[in-house]
A and B are shown apart, each in its own frame.
Chain A
Amino acid sequence: MRQDESGWNHMPLTRRHVLQLMAGAAAGALHPRLLARAGTTGAVAEAAARGFLTSDELVILDAATAAILPTDDLPGARDIGVVDYIQSLLTFMPGTDANCDRFVTAADVTAIVTQAHGQAPRCADAGDVNGDGAVDPADVLAAEAAPFAARPMFGGGPFSGRNPQPHFPVGTTPCAQCHGARPSSVPTGGTAATETVTLYPPNAFAQFTPLNRLQRLSWRLRILGADALPAVMSNPLLAELPEVDLRRRYRDGLAGLEAQSQQHYGKPFAALTPAQQQVIFRESDARFVDLLHRHVIQGTLCAPEYGGNRDRRGWQLTGLDGDSQPLGYEIYDPSVPGFYRERSDKPNRGPNPDEDCRGFSTDMKRFLSVISRGAGGGQFANPYCFGVDG
């Protein structure tokens, strides 16, 4: 077995190789990319090419997520890429990073092919995408969608590359030899207070974090359901957990929305008005509708590496910065009193520079008043903003 990095890249992969392997395999499910050609366009077709849900299902999902978070003068689920987030979640399986380099690329298909030909895997579970205990042509089929999206299920660490590495004074540079701190990201010296921050670490969030046996099993359970579990278990909780058996829940849930829509309005869900779609939500499986809401929130506020929060629109919507490492909000600087310097753009210790203390909208006040009275509290008489007006 060749263990060196480059050896794996020398293994040629051709379409013919894959077809040869597949020829011996039992007929599998239709390839998602073939389904994607069925006639849709744009974002849905693109997402369909990436995995589990079919283009027909994605049309319903697209409409449902847009009904939950519509586009108005601010971006909605469609602009944020929530469908992409969910499709990625449903598609990827442990083992997809078959060459164990923490990324999912076309090279992983090569690695699966070589393993199916008898080469030993480089890390646990590598290449066994469908989790049947063997690396074989069926795994090629299962993995082939992956290179088109390459979304992690658990992103790597430590940094996303969205924030710069602050400069440290000579002699205090932490971790010059650190894992992940490639030379280009490590400051070479200078004084902290004066230098411009320009060094950005590489993006590790796009990597696949390696998983242990239980973590892989846990993930299979979430995507594939209890069939993935060993027989020794006896757990009455399984059916109650919200995020287990997600593929089936989505397949059934989306079909349920569509069926209810046809029954009630005689139209596809995607063709209904927003008000009608809300009616269908109320009439459909409440657990699935709740799951959709949870995933819309996740797809809106996740790190963009997971497929949602496109161009950080989700974070912008809610006024968030996202991850802040390695810069943070307090720059360690021995040249200033207290050794810490806060950022003027995003103060840690005080209110935002543009804080006007206007507070909530009228509707939101009404809502907060109702829920606080219902929760043993209530409205206080003299609210004020410490550091702004009091």
Chain B
Amino acid sequence: MLKKLSGLLAGAALLLSSGTIADVRAESTWSAIKPAIFQERVIHQSTGIIKLDAPYRTIDDRTIPITVDALVPDGRTIRSITLLADDNPMPVIAVLRLANAETRFKLGLNIRLDGTSPIRAVVETSDGALYMTEKLVKTSGQGACASPPVTDLDKVSDTIGQMAFSDVDVDAATSGQTLINRRGRLKITHPNLTGLQMNQITMQHIPARYVDTLTVWNGEQQLFTIESGITLSENPEIEFDYRLNGSANLTVVATDTEGTKFKSVLPVGPSS
């Protein structure tokens, strides 16, 4: 009886301490990957510049919404935003490069995580300084990088590269206001194969095939480019800020690692 009780107490102690163990490991992962991505550059801890939103614990590891809201209030502008998931095999989620001098930019992505991992957002300002904030996201243990794709791979060519775009701010749209500052959501149909997924029939890994570049124009004006990896979910969704400039359409050009180019012209405005 006493032995069982003590075993139980030890178990409870282990459970309580496991969070700390994960944190220590995560820190060591970051110190290992930081030089490969940012070399010897100094990264400042961001206090006010970046707000990173991600769930504390995921519901579905295959599609986790994360949002980064960057605001540079001192005259500098935002050059790029890098999103990282330390413990994914390909830690760089995406690198966004802004084409225009913006002091504020909000980017939302849906991602997948192989396991519990810190998520980081690194903002590079126009003077080349780097600011970082991070948040630990706990997963539900599905091992999403290897979890089988939902897409029927025999029918990929029917839908691959299809895109849809709509404004996110429903309140503004329904209230009939003509707001200049918009927030849109782009959906891309793509299996975004990680290369880690097993074909359950042949028991071989399905070759990787994922969206690796994306460029968005508002009319003739380029807004940004994104370089992305396998951490973006199957059928990626990207939320971003844009400003009405008189153009009727957004143009999106994406490429994937097969070298396939996908181009869509999508209407903007209140009715979209």
| A-B interaction | no
